[in-house]
Chains A and B, each alone.
Chain A
């Protein structure tokens, strides 16, 4: 909406805040360099793609009108794009320690394309019931989650360093937590989905897997509440100044917290900080130390129901449940209480009021509520996550499969899956560097994907040939031939209009655009018709070269090619003036005049071009028969002049006469020189009366009159012949 112009301080739109929340917080102010000289009468603001805001600043219309606009070159206004995403004033709450920047997100987007495409093609192959035969198969169902797991691992590896070291280490006894690369919520969420929805191997030792997950991502669970990670890292800071660790309650609470989630290595490590281990204390605190060490040993041998353990982790692995129960009983028998349900503990530890999204996701997963999981993914991690995570949700879950794939009338007949893919594709399209990967996702959308893909391709810029070729390559991959033809036509028009006629014609030819190529040929025609003797020969010669001969069937181009040959030859003849080149030129001229495709309006210009050739001495250039042909054409032309549809040629008025004169004198010399004259061949007989006619009409008699008097030729015949001979 246009804002009102304020008088003071150059501010265009006054801002006074909400009446109720006055002066709560200063609004973020952004300076826009629009470069429009004041006064500015109107400001339009609209959202462009992504975070771009378009601001149009317009000056008042010039009241004087456009009389002499050359004097003052002031722009009437300007549109400025403002990126609201970057820099200050961005949305608050972005957590710097784990934020994924735009370039990093694009890297993830690029990397997930091949994995996504592979999974889709496998899915299609499975649906076709073919193509999977070469893969070792147990049953189709059992196989599918393995493919999804492979996909999930590939994507997961994009989200962070896959071989990241364990979070905690025991190498340095003074360090509980190892500082390492900050984990991201995105990776945490992805792994969580993988654990619960895809990896069936994990089902028997899910709690243990959750322990591992917590070890990696506990720090992300909340930003406001305490986490075990934070508890331990705070204690770590404190540790340096502590003389007697066991006197500090944080030591014990940290111990119990770590123990409750099964971080045995941490617990054992922390137990060894106990004062009784210090060398000077050993003697007096022997019993105490023995107790602590016994606890540490017990903790380190706690049975864990999992196939294996990474190095550095403590505990005894039990692969099956009976083994685990047996081991647990035995272990409990050594004097320890069992652990609580780990997942329950996690929920209890984290209050529901939380902003990281991981807790919400975890709650959704544990309550087996796919809708909540999907909603949490959408809310917290954006379109990339939803689009790719849907594959995990449906890996082995019939309800999710049905829910995501059901076509819904309230979404315009598309499924939730398609909706999210389309949204993600839109995000990709909005960036100049990622639009090329959007087709992968659009093509997986059966209902609306192809339509949007066509729109996307047609909207790509056509200024740069390389970008056109990249767009055309996508058209080729998806067999969108009509789209590529349209793009080539649009590109052709763009280049043609900008004076790059060569490139323009190239694209028209690639598009097989006969209509436009014919129109160009027509333009050439008119151009040539106007200035046939002009030096612009080179210009249209090049264009003719471009148009090529393969579209000669289109009509006038055949003539243009012959005409080009004639002009070239004529130039050579006039420069070199060898008998050979003259002969060649005459041949081209006669061919042109004989050919029915030569338009009548070119006859006179052609002859006029050849006047110098005809006058060339000593010997006549044209034979009697050839001259006769030309004379016939000239007469035909004179008669045609009488018709109303005759198109006037822009030639000097004396052109006709000079042609007549040249032809006449040429004919005269030809008759004299040709030995055949004595044999009176038929051509000559018809030639003579015509010759006389033309000489007659040379004497400035009006063409109309000459036409009327054509029947009097016979009488004139004898007279003129005598005269010349």
Chain B
């Protein structure tokens, strides 16, 4: 009963920087997407758009941002966007531009200076946002109880480290990664400090690369999967923090043919692809991971397996998201001003 995978491109008149599925209320007919868009020709150049899946070319609503969005995440109720000028914007996930502007934390000395690349929802009650910026600062932003948001600074690296990604693992733990500083594991119970770190394992013989994206599977909170420079994807298991497991990368031992040789922009665990090794899936084997890259690859990477290439586009895939409610559907942001919607066969694993 496997339908062949289908792929559609929807052109837009501006750059799509980031794209996410919004949690939908009930049926699958009204599924919505959130996209961070940028139009260098327009005076107010950056916006958040709310798009219907059936026609992603016509936004339902639009909200201006002070600068280009650098990260975009959804929680069940909140859509959050951080920008290159260091601000954070929290909106109800079914935002309506007319009535709600949401709340925001302005960029600047009191928060972040410069791009905020790491953003994730989690923490206590699942309502705290961790932000990590290229300025080396890490904040936790949460409700102040009176409808306002309060940003609490956990760490100020004073520019000594530049963070590019952040992800919650549990209510008290989160992981960050950045340029040259590898991966860090933070524990809020231990004085908001880094309790473990690792340089990572990088392709093309470089000592340290740049981490672009981290994902942590909810069922295995001690394992991060990391995507970064030179087509590198590795897993970091906290139980063996000094032995990162290479999954893909140029010239990395222990990996199959690298799926990409350029920047891996985003990684996500792919619940849709069944691990080919079902018996040992409860073991230490890393679950399948989907990735997108600068050289236009969207693929599923598995430990000790040949990568499954889903798309090979002539332009970069800057961002993608797997529909959490229907993981066969994937949406991606293409460099050439378009949104791609990939539908994999409903019942079996998609084949080329």
> Which residue numbers of A lie inside 8 Å of B, CB to CB?
83, 86, 101-104, 106-107, 110-111, 113-114, 117, 431-433, 436, 464-465, 469-470, 473, 476, 495, 498-503, 505-506, 509-510, 539, 542-543, 545-546, 548, 550
Contact = CB atoms under 8 A, between A and B. Distances in A.
Most buried by A among B179, B206, B295, B315: B179
B337 A107 contact: yes
Nearest to A107: B11
A539 B160 contact: yes
Nearest to A440: B314
B316 A470 contact: yes
21 contacts: A110-B336, A110-B337, A111-B336, A114-B314, A433-B15, A433-B40, A465-B115, A465-B134, A465-B179, A473-B294, A473-B316, A476-B262, A502-B161, A502-B180, A503-B162, A503-B179, A506-B179, A506-B208, A509-B180, A542-B160, A546-B181
Interface string B309-327: 0000011100000000000
Interface of B: 11-15, 40-41, 84, 114-115, 134-136, 157-162, 164, 178-181, 206-208, 210, 229, 261-263, 294-295, 314-316, 335-338
Contact of B162 (A431, A469, A502, A543): A502
Given A431-B40, A539-B158, A505 B262 contact: no
B337 A433 contact: yes
Contacts of A501: 159-160
Nearest to A114: B314
Contact of B337 (A103, A465, A502, A509): A103
Nearest to B135: A500
B114 A500 contact: yes
Contacts of A103: 11-14, 337
Contacts of B210: 465, 469, 506
B337 A106 contact: yes
A307 B162 CA distance: 66
Contacts of B207: 509, 548, 550
B179 A464 contact: no
A502 B155 CA distance: 15
B335 A436 contact: yes
A433 B338 CA distance: 12
A107 B229 CA distance: 29
B interface: dominant SS: loop
Nearest to B261: A476
Contact of A506 (B157, B162, B261): B162
Nearest to A470: B294
A86 B41 CA distance: 10
A interface: dominant SS: helix
Nearest to B136: A502
A111 B334 CA distance: 12
A185 B206 CA distance: 52
A101 B41 CA distance: 13
Nearest to A549: B207
A503 B180 contact: yes
A600 to B, nearest CB: 29
Contact of A499 (B159, B261, B315): B159
A104 B57 CA distance: 13
B339 to A, nearest CB: 13
A579 B159 CA distance: 36
A117 B296 CA distance: 16
B41 A83 contact: yes
Nearest to B197: A545
B237 to A, nearest CB: 23
Nearest to A541: B160
A505 B136 CA distance: 14
Contacts of B316: 470, 473
A543 B314 CA distance: 40
Nearest to B115: A464
Contact of B157 (A106, A432, A470, A502): A502
Given A499-B135, A503-B180, 19 more contacts: A102-B41, A103-B13, A104-B13, A117-B314, A432-B40, A464-B115, A473-B316, A500-B159, A500-B162, A502-B136, A502-B161, A502-B162, A503-B179, A542-B157, A542-B158, A543-B160, A545-B160, A546-B161, A550-B207
A564 B230 CA distance: 32
Q: Which 5 A-B residue pairs are closest in the complex by CB-CB distance? A: A103-B13, A506-B180, A542-B160, A110-B336, A432-B40
Contacts of A506: 162, 179-180, 208, 210
B222 to A, nearest CB: 25
A535 to B, nearest CB: 13
Contact of A502 (B13, B160, B229, B295): B160
Contacts of A110: 315, 336-337
Contact of A542 (B161, B178, B335): B161
Contacts of B208: 506, 509, 548
Contacts of A473: 262-263, 294-295, 316
A706 to B, nearest CB: 44
A113 B314 contact: yes
Contact of B263 (A469, A499, A548): A469
A506 B206 CA distance: 11
B159 A469 contact: no
A546 B337 contact: no
Nearest to B315: A110
Nearest to B164: A465
A270 to B, nearest CB: 39
Contacts of A545: 160
A586 B15 CA distance: 60
A569 B179 CA distance: 28
Contacts of A476: 261-262
Nearest to A115: B314
B159 A502 contact: yes
A433 B334 CA distance: 12
Nearest to B179: A506
A509 B182 CA distance: 14
Most buried by B among A86, A495, A506: A506
A282 B330 CA distance: 64
A138 B134 CA distance: 59
Contacts of A546: 160-161, 180-181
A101 B39 CA distance: 14
A477 to B, nearest CB: 8
Contacts of A431: 40
A469 B336 CA distance: 17
Given A473-B263, A539-B160, A502 B11 contact: no
Contacts of A464: 84, 115
A385 to B, nearest CB: 19
Most buried by A among B206, B208, B295: B208
Contacts of A542: 157-158, 160-161
Contacts of B13: 101-104
Most buried by A among B159, B161, B335: B159
A546 B181 CA distance: 7
Nearest to B181: A502
Contacts of A106: 337
B180 A505 contact: yes
